[in-house]
Amino acid sequence: MNINKIKIIILDVDGTMTDGGVYIDSNLAETKKFNIKDGAGILLAQSVGIEFMILTGRTSKCVEQRAKELKIRHVVQGVQDKAVYLKDFMSSNNLSQENVAYIGDDLNDLPAMNCAGVTACPADAANEVKEYCDFTLSKNGGDGAVREFIEILLKDKKLWEKAVNNLFPVGYC
């Protein structure tokens, strides 16, 4: 595992970027709750050149909107075999396993995690996923787990301070 060569972080949605709940209102509209700190972490990592992909088995306008807000270019929804998709994407984009990190929480993420050089999961992930991952985070899905992993990554790459200064420069009053 070499965290320094990561160029892209693959994000599962339900149970990773969200708490895993699917909320359906009386108009049958689906809503999801995303963590603002996760979003800030994504923007921090993007400011130092790390890309993101949302890769999810479900399809939701909420996910599309959140990705747009965070300027995530690679948004892939409704994918039943995440591993097949990810292998093709990596091949098409000249990415090796060591360039990819994956954050997921459930059994359907395990095959795709096998494509990544670094894997992480929220504290409330399935036990089988926890056993597989390089990092079991202290935060639950939707409660800052994505941000926690991004901080680990950027600090290990010695890019945390640069990212913070890029996005939130101090001293301009």
CA distance 130 to 169: 36
Structural element, H or E, at residue 23: strand 23-24
CA distance 118 to 170: 32
Query: What does the pLDDT look like over 30-79, one tens digit per residue?
Result: 899 999 999 999 999 999 999 999 999 999 999 999 999 999 999 999 99
67 lies in a domain? yes
What is the torsional sign of CA 68, 30, 141, 3? Answer: negative
80 lies in a domain? yes
The count of domains in the chain is: 1
91 lies in a domain? yes
Tokens of 31: 């809503």
74 lies in a domain? yes
For residue 33, give its domain range: 3-95+132-157
109 lies in a domain? no
14 lies in a domain? yes
CATH number of residue 38's parent domain: 3.40.50.1000
169 lies in a domain? no
Q: Is the pLDDT of residue 17 over 90?
A: yes
Q: Is the pLDDT of residue 164 over 90?
A: yes
pLDDT-derived band of residue 4, with 50, 70 and 90 as boundaries? confident
The mean per-residue pLDDT over the stretch 142-168 comes to: 95
73 lies in a domain? yes
Q: Is the pLDDT of residue 1 over 70?
A: no
Q: Is the pLDDT of residue 173 over 70?
A: no
Q: Is the pLDDT of residue 171 over 90?
A: no
Query: What does the pLDDT look like over 118-127, one tens digit per residue?
Result: 999 999 999 9
pLDDT-derived band of residue 26, with 50, 70 and 90 as boundaries? very high
